[in-house]
Structure 1
Amino acid sequence: MAFDMASPSFSNMLKTLKKDLVIYDFLQPWAPSIAYTHNIPAVNFITTGAAMTCFALHAMKNPSEDFPFPELHLRDLYESSSTVHPYINDKERILQSFARSSKIVLIKTFRELEGKYIDLLSSLIEKKVVPVGALVEDPVHEDEKAKTIDWLDKKKGSSTVFVSFGSQYFLSKEEMEEIAHGLELSKVDFTWVVRFPVGEKIKLEEALPEGFLERVGERGIVVEDWAPQAKIPWHSSIGGFESYCGWSFVIESIKFGVPIIAIPMQLDQPLNARVVEEVGVGMEVKRDRDGKLERVEVATVIREVVMGIIGESIRRRARETSDSLRKKGEEEIEVVVDELDKLCATRSLFQWLHQFS
C-alpha cells in the first residue's frame, strides 16, 4: 500500500519532532513499531463502531462459530461481500494494529450505545478499550444563513426529514427514484442533499422522477452538491435523518437527539443500522428479496419515525440518549486524556531511568 512507503519518512519525522505519543489506525500497522524504536508509545484508534469491529474480528478469529449476539441477526451479513470481505482481506493489518497498540485501544463510540460490544472487543483483543465519544462539537451559529437554513426556519419543530448519503456513495438512478417517490408519498417535509460523481454532467431534474419538484412544491427542497451540513441535521425543525448509516453520522445523530431513518448501502453500514434499531433510536428501511428499495417502505418508515405512534418511542429514546450524553459532558475525553497521560508518564519514567543505565 502507498501508506507503507511512508514509513522511512515517518521515522525521520518522529526523530525530528520528538513527540510523546503516536495515534494510528489499521492502515499503518508499521507506525507503532517505528514509534517504539524512538521509545514513543503508540495507540490504535478505531473509527468504526464497536459492533462492526467485533463482528469483523470474530469472523477472523472464530469463523466457524456464531456471533455471540444473535439479536442483531447478523447471519446474512456473513455472506455479504460488501460488509465482511474488505475487513477479512486486511486481516493481518487489523490484527497487527491491535497487537502493537500500547496497553489500550481507542474507539469512536459511546458506552451507552455499544457497552456490550466494547466489552466483547476488549476480550477479543485482550486490551482495554476506551471510548472517545462522538468527537464532534456543537454547531456554530453564524450570522450568514444559507437558503436551506432560511427554509428550515419556517418549518415546525421536528417536522422535517433531512436526507443525505454522504460524499462517498452515489445513488443509482433507480435508488434515487424510489427515495424521491418515498418522500413524496410520505407527505412529510424534507430537505435533500443530492450529489453526483465528479465529472458526470447530470441535471438534477433529469435524475429525479418527472414532475417531482413541481409536485412537492414548498414541502421539500433539493440541494445539489453543497449544503451547510454542519447545521442542517441539528436544526430544531429536523425530526429525522434519512441516512446511509456511516458511523460518524450515526453517533452525531445520536449525540444531538435526531432519530435515524436508516438506509444502509455498503461496508459497515448494514450492521450500523442494526445497532441503531437495537438501541431504539431509529428504524431501518427494509429492502425487498432482491435487495432493492421500495418507495412505499421508504414512505412508511419516514412517517413512522417523524410522526407515528410506534415512532414516539424512537423519538423519546433519541431525546433521552442525547440528554444523557450531554449531561456527561466531556467525561469520555477526560478518561481518554487520563489513559494517554499514564502512557506518556511511563515513557518519561523510562527515559529518566535510562539515563542512569
Structure 2
Amino acid sequence: MDASMEINQKSIRVLMFPWLGHGHISPFFELAKKLVKRNFTIFLCSTPANFISIKQKLINEDLTEKIHLVDLRLPSLPDLPPHYHTTNGLPSHLMSTLKKAFAKARPIFTQIINSIEPDLLIYDLLQPWAPKVAAEKNIPSVVFVTSSATMFSYMFHTFRYPNSEFPFSSIYYRDYELARMVKNQELEPIEQQQKDNTSVKLCFKRSSNIVLIKGFKEIDGQYCDYISSLTKKRVVLVGPLVQEPTSEDGNSQILTWLNQKSKGSTIFVSFGSEYFLSQEDREEIAHGLEKSRVNFIWVVRFPKGEKLKLEQALPRGFFKKVGERGMVVEDWAPQAKILGNPNIGGFVSHCGWNSVMESMKIGVPIIAMPMHLDQPLNARLVEEVGIGLEVVRDKDGKLDGEQISEIINKVVLEKEGESIREKAKIMSETIRVKGDEEIDDVVQELFNLCKTRSNVV
C-alpha cells in the first residue's frame, strides 16, 4: 500500500503554533488550507488578537470544520493588554514585552497539547520549548520558517562563521542597513537578542529531521542547500503559499477606482502590517509618487494609539497635486485582489517575504524599498532574480523622492524596464505550472514522520 492510500484511511491531527505576527500566521494559515484538502485536521494556536482576521476567512471559505482555532491566553503583563498580544500595530518599544509574555506561555501550551493530543506539531522560530513539550509526549515536531531561505542561510552562516563573508556575493547588507540594525538593537535588551538567536538555533535543532521553508527551488535552491550543510537538516520547501483573493474584497471602493484606470498604469504602495514609516520617509515617498508618471494606491499605517489624519501625515497640498492619479487609504487594502488587477503595473514594497511571494506569483514587478530584518536581503534576491529594482538610500539611510520616481517610471513605464516586466511574467507562469508540486512533497514528508504513531493506520 503506498503512502497516498494509507494517509487517506485516517486524518492526521496537526497542531500549528506560529509566532504572534501576521506575517507568520498568514503562511501557517495558507499551509493549513493546503493540508486540510489532503486529509489533515488542523488546530491553529494563537492569541485571540491574531484571530480577528482569521475567523471571518474560515467562515467565508467554509473551513470551520477542518481548521480549529485554539486560543492561547498569554499571562498578563504591565503595558501589554490583550489587544497588544500581536505584532500587528504593536508599538516597537513593546516588542520585547510581548516576547517575554510569549515565553511564559509554556504551561498554557502544555495544557493545549495535552488536550488536543496531536499527531504532529508544526511550530515557529521563537518557541524552542514547544518541540520539547511535544517530545515529552512522543509527538514529532517540525519547524516552519516563514521568512526566506536566503535570510536563514545568511543568518546561520553568521552564527557559524561570524568573521567570514557570505559565499553568495549578491546577498548582503548595505552599510546604512547594518547601522540601522545596530540602532534598532539598542531598543531591545542584549539579553533578549541573545535569547532570540539561541531560540532560532534550538528550534532548528529540535525539528524532526526536516525543516519546512516557504519558497520554491527555482529561486531558493542554492540557499536551501547551504542551510542543510550548516544545520544538518534537510530543507523541504512548501511553495509560495500565497493567499488567494476572496470574493468579499470585490466591492471595495478601491477596486472600483482601480478599474477605471488603464492597463498596467497603476502601482500599489504598501510596507506591510508591522513597519511604520518615519515622517521623513513618508514625505520622500509622497514626493516620489507625486513626481512619477503613474497612478497609485498607497496604504499608510500608524502604530496603535499614534494615529494621524492623512492630511497631517503627508506634505501640505499633496492630495491637490496628485488629484485623481492617487488614492491614499489607511491601515488596510485587499492586497491580493489589487495586485491581481490587470491595471496594476508595479508594487512598491518593503520586501517582506509574503509580499515578495505574492508579487512573484501574480507576476507584478517590484520597486523594492526594504526597511529592516530580512527585507534588505529579500530585496537583493528580487534584483538577482531580475523581477524588480531597488530604491537605494544614501549613505545616511535617507530616501530621495527624485530617485523613487525614477525607479518607479523605469520599472513600470520605460523601455529599460521591459526585461523586468517580462521576467515577472515568466516567474508567474513558472509558479502556475508548478501548481502544488511542493505541497505534495510536504504531505509525504509529514506522513513519514507520523506513520510510526499508533493512532495513524
| TM-score higher than 0.5 | yes
Instruction: State the match for 1:118 in structure 2.
Output: 224
- SS of structure 2 residue aligned to 1:191: strand
Q: Measure, in 2, the Cα distance between the counterparts of 1:210 and 1:251.
A: 35
TM-score by length of 2: 0.73
Identical-pair percentage: 53
Q: Measure, in 2, the Cα distance between the counterparts of 1:78 and 1:205.
A: 30
Out of 156, 160, 166, the position equivalent to 1:61 is: 160
Q: Is the 8 A contact 1:23 1:43 kept in 2?
A: yes
Q: Measure, in 2, the Cα distance between the counterparts of 1:221 and 1:117.
A: 39
Q: 1:74 deviation in Å?
A: 4.0
- SS of structure 1 residue aligned to 2:415: coil
Instruction: Identify if the C-alpha distance between structure 1 residues 23 and 80 changes in structure 2 by more than 3 Å, giving closer, same or farther.
Output: farther
Instruction: State the match for 1:38 in structure 2.
Output: 137
After TM superposition, list the pairs within 5 Å mapping 1:326-345 onto structure 2: 326-345=432-451
Stretch deviating more after TM superposition (334-343 or 86-95): 86-95
Instruction: State the match for 1:48 in structure 2.
Output: 147
| 1:18 and 2:91 correspond | no
| 1:82 and 2:188 correspond | no
Q: 1:317 deviation in Å?
A: 0.8
Residue type at the aligned position of 1:309:
K
Instruction: State the match for 1:263 in structure 2.
Output: 369
Residue type at the aligned position of 2:168:
F
Cα deviation digits, residues 1-34 of structure 1 (max 9, x gap): 3233222332333233221000111211111121
Q: Measure, in 2, the Cα distance between the counterparts of 1:307 and 1:186.
A: 10
Q: Measure, in 1, the Cα distance between the counterparts of 2:110 and 2:195.
A: 27
Instruction: Identify if the C-alpha distance between structure 1 residues 124 and 9 changes in structure 2 by more than 3 Å, giving closer, same or farther.
Output: same
- Stretches of structure 1 that go unaligned for 5 or more consecutive residues are 353-357
Q: Is the 8 A contact 1:122 1:128 kept in 2?
A: yes
Q: Measure, in 2, the Cα distance between the counterparts of 1:204 and 1:198.
A: 15
TM-score by length of 1: 0.92
Out of 211, 214, 232, the position equivalent to 2:320 is: 214
Stretch deviating more after TM superposition (86-95 or 210-219): 86-95
Q: Measure, in 2, the Cα distance between the counterparts of 1:4 and 1:174.
A: 35
- SS of structure 2 residue aligned to 1:70: coil
Instruction: Identify if the C-alpha distance between structure 1 residues 271 and 87 changes in structure 2 by more than 3 Å, giving closer, same or farther.
Output: farther
Q: Is the 8 A contact 1:45 1:105 kept in 2?
A: yes
Out of 96, 105, 109, the position equivalent to 2:215 is: 109
Q: Measure, in 1, the Cα distance between the counterparts of 2:376 and 2:354.
A: 14
Out of 173, 181, 192, the position equivalent to 2:287 is: 181
- SS of structure 1 residue aligned to 2:397: coil
- Stretches of structure 2 that go unaligned for 5 or more consecutive residues are 1-99, 186-191
| 1:131 and 2:230 correspond | no
Instruction: State the match for 1:243 in structure 2.
Output: 349
After TM superposition, list the pairs within 5 Å mapping 1:160-239 onto structure 2: 160-239=266-345
Q: Measure, in 2, the Cα distance between the counterparts of 1:147 and 1:268.
A: 33
Instruction: Identify if the C-alpha distance between structure 1 residues 199 and 318 changes in structure 2 by more than 3 Å, giving closer, same or farther.
Output: same
Instruction: Identify if the C-alpha distance between structure 1 residues 20 and 77 changes in structure 2 by more than 3 Å, giving closer, same or farther.
Output: farther
Instruction: State the match for 1:355 in structure 2.
Output: none
- SS of structure 2 residue aligned to 1:90: helix
Residue type at the aligned position of 1:170:
F
Stretch deviating more after TM superposition (325-334 or 199-208): 199-208
Instruction: State the match for 1:28 in structure 2.
Output: 127
Q: Measure, in 2, the Cα distance between the counterparts of 1:144 and 1:256.
A: 17
Q: 1:93 deviation in Å?
A: 1.0
Cα deviation digits, residues 256-312 of structure 1 (max 9, x gap): 111111101111111111111111111100111211000111001100110122211
Q: 1:241 deviation in Å?
A: 0.5
Q: Is the 8 A contact 1:255 1:325 kept in 2?
A: yes
Q: Is the 8 A contact 1:152 1:237 kept in 2?
A: yes
Q: 1:206 deviation in Å?
A: 2.1
Q: 1:198 deviation in Å?
A: 2.3
Q: Measure, in 1, the Cα distance between the counterparts of 2:124 and 2:202.
A: 10
Instruction: Identify if the C-alpha distance between structure 1 residues 108 and 88 changes in structure 2 by more than 3 Å, giving closer, same or farther.
Output: farther
Q: Measure, in 2, the Cα distance between the counterparts of 1:55 and 1:100.
A: 20
Q: Measure, in 1, the Cα distance between the counterparts of 2:176 and 2:451.
A: 43
Residue type at the aligned position of 1:19:
P
| 1:316 and 2:415 correspond | no
Q: Measure, in 2, the Cα distance between the counterparts of 1:343 and 1:77.
A: 44
Instruction: Identify if the C-alpha distance between structure 1 residues 100 and 144 changes in structure 2 by more than 3 Å, giving closer, same or farther.
Output: closer
Q: Is the 8 A contact 1:280 1:317 kept in 2?
A: yes
Q: 1:318 deviation in Å?
A: 0.7
Instruction: State the match for 2:9 in structure 1.
Output: none
Q: Is the 8 A contact 1:60 1:88 kept in 2?
A: no
Q: Is the 8 A contact 1:253 1:259 kept in 2?
A: yes
